[in-house]
Structure 1
Amino acid sequence: MDYSSYVSAEFLGIFVPTIMYWLLSGAYALFANTKKYRLHPKGEEDIKNIPSRSEVIKIVLLQQSIQISVNLILFMFISDNSDAIKPEPPFFVRLIQFISAMAIMDTYQYFVHRFLHTNKFLYKHIHSKHHNLLVPYAYAALYAHPFEGFILDIIGGGLACLLSGMTPSTAVYFFTFGTMKTVDDHCGFMLPGHPVHVVLENNSAYHDVHHQLYGNKYNFSQPFFVTWDKIMGTYMPHKLEKREDGGFEAKPLKKE
């Protein structure tokens, strides 16, 4: 067994997503004082949001500690413990596995996320915690009830990884990309030329609509595509309008 390679893949898959979460959040913090690309006026997050920033950080760190523990177990299942050194699958195979994992995770998260809204008990006692953030910001992306974090993010990511058949090294890229996409969806900015905002309709403005009271029953799709919203009739399109004081506002084109 190539123990050093095993530890390397394991270490990267467990810790790199968490590191990138805070690095990307820090990058968005550099834009904190600008008005130009914000989806909400500066300072609104401190007025409309219920949890304090210190409370958000505490819960996010708890979520990440749970994720690290579960990912440690996951990598024990998908890692090859034999002494033989096996080559990685061809790039095309890994790409298919990656895209398959995105589709699996999107499917799982859409229906679980929607159920967390439609079930009054679960929404009141579990999912409403995340929606106490009417004005999302980057490092609050994982602010949620620990039970939600487990069934939505951890189980969703684990199933996507296992069912797609990806190797630990591919899982490193998948978990890191998924984590960065989640941070981006909650960043509160629409940046010109941002590749995610250009390529994927499921972006920060799309998810911001869901966080508003009028969008609470729409735009459940996360974190990659909008396919299931369109299929299931929960798709709420929007348009970006420039605010007079700077920045943008995501205005819905469909109302309940």
Structure 2
Amino acid sequence: MLLQSLWDYILGHSALLSSPFFPVLFNPCVYISFSLPFIVLDLLSPHLAWVRRYKIQGESQISWTTMGQCLGLFFYNYVVYLFHMILVNWYLRPISLPAQAPESLRLVWDVLACLLLFDFQYFFWHLLHHRVPWLYRTFHKVHHKHTSTSVLTTQYSGVWETLSLGFFASINPYLMGCHPLTEMLFYVLNIWLSVEDHCGYDLPWATHRLVPFGLYGGAPHHDLHHLKFKSNFAPYFTHWDRLFGTLHEH
């Protein structure tokens, strides 16, 4: 009933959902919204010891110049490349909005399946771009300019990396035949986890502290990848790094 009520409310804005404005504005708005609390923490950390205690690399600080560079590259990639691809996708794949919401268990399963599939794709893409020197120099090196993560380094990537990972994220709900509500929730969750991965803080309520048995790496896992470069290639979960012997823990 709760999902149906939520879906009925969303259907009340079907004109917006079906317009090109929604897919164009969705990603940057969600990304910036999730980033803002961590930007505030970055601005406060030089002045407040209780904020710095949660910073993974406590001595690192982000400058206004770095923030500007990260945001500049994000909006450049988005306006010059992603904007047009989103419009083409919107034109070729019209949005279908069924009257019924997905079942709760199906929604949870589909979101988790999309997340695990993305984690699998990202791991092998990432490992390949580190193991093949030409791929690293040509495409992935941009993202490793910063050895200390901060939230705005999430989208500090070259156009090939941005398009590749964006393609993985967008194709998975289609392959799984997900309900539009499931697809939206997966996008929101995926953006949040990516932002949290790069935030640079190990907070008490962080996702990796909520998932038991070390199955989820979180910000400490990914920050170590930026620091060491040769381990922790999976974005979220730890099972692929365990299987391939590339897991490095603090």
If the TM-score is normalised by the length of the shorter chain, which range does it land in? 0.7 to 0.9
Structure 1 or 2: more helix by fraction:
2
Measured after TM superposition, the shift of residue 79 of structure 1 is 2.6
Measured after TM superposition, the shift of residue 171 of structure 1 is 1.3
Number of aligned residue pairs: 226
Counterpart amino acid of residue 96 in structure 1: W
Counterpart amino acid of residue 139 in structure 1: L
Corresponding residue for residue 56 of structure 1: 70
Measured after TM superposition, the shift of residue 104 of structure 1 is 1.1
Q: Tell me how far apart the structure 1 counterparts of residues 78 and 209 of structure 2 sit (CA, whole Å).
A: 26
Pair 1:168–1:68, CA change in 2 (3 A): farther
Name which of 115, 132, 135 aligns with 2:145: 132
Counterpart amino acid of residue 17 in structure 2: S
Pair 1:6–1:93, CA change in 2 (3 A): farther
Over residues 83-112 of structure 1, what are the superposed CA-to-partner deviations in whole Å (9 max), with x where a residue is unaligned?
xx5423312112221111111111111111
Corresponding residue for residue 160 of structure 2: 147
Measured after TM superposition, the shift of residue 42 of structure 1 is 4.5
Q: Are 2:149 and 2:199, in contact at CA under 8 Å, matched by a contact in 1?
A: yes
The SS at the match of 2:110 is helix
Q: Are 1:39 and 1:205, in contact at CA under 8 Å, matched by a contact in 2?
A: yes
Corresponding residue for residue 238 of structure 2: 226
Measured after TM superposition, the shift of residue 129 of structure 1 is 0.6
Name which of 84, 89, 93 aligns with 1:77: 93
Pair 1:78–1:100, CA change in 2 (3 A): farther
Corresponding residue for residue 188 of structure 2: 176
Q: Flag the structure with more relative contact order, 1 or 2, with Cα contacts below 8 A and sequence separation at least 6.
A: 1
Corresponding residue for residue 133 of structure 2: 120
Name which of 102, 109, 116 aligns with 1:103: 116
Measured after TM superposition, the shift of residue 21 of structure 1 is 1.4
Counterpart amino acid of residue 159 in structure 1: I
Show structure 2 runs of 5+ residues with no match: 1-10, 46-50
Name which of 190, 207, 229 aligns with 2:222: 207
Q: Are 2:102 and 2:182, in contact at CA under 8 Å, matched by a contact in 1?
A: no
TM-score where L is the length of structure 1 = 0.78
The alignment's C-alpha RMSD in Å is 2.5
Show structure 1 runs of 5+ residues with no match: 239-256
Pair 1:95–1:12, CA change in 2 (3 A): farther
Name which of 176, 184, 191 aligns with 1:164: 176
Percent identity over the alignment is 20
Corresponding residue for residue 41 of structure 1: 58
Q: Are 2:207 and 2:218, in contact at CA under 8 Å, matched by a contact in 1?
A: no
Q: Are 1:74 and 1:158, in contact at CA under 8 Å, matched by a contact in 2?
A: no
Over residues 48-79 of structure 1, what are the superposed CA-to-partner deviations in whole Å (9 max), with x where a residue is unaligned?
xxx83322111111233444543444455373
Q: Confirm whether residue 26 of structure 1 aligns to residue 39 of structure 2.
A: no
1:186-205 alignment runs, 5 A limit = 186-199=198-211, 201-205=216-220
Q: Tell me how far apart the structure 2 counterparts of residues 12 and 174 of structure 1 sit (CA, whole Å).
A: 16
Name which of 8, 12, 17 aligns with 1:8: 17
Counterpart amino acid of residue 130 in structure 1: H
Measured after TM superposition, the shift of residue 194 of structure 1 is 2.8
Q: Tell me how far apart the structure 2 counterparts of residues 14 and 95 of structure 1 sit (CA, whole Å).
A: 26
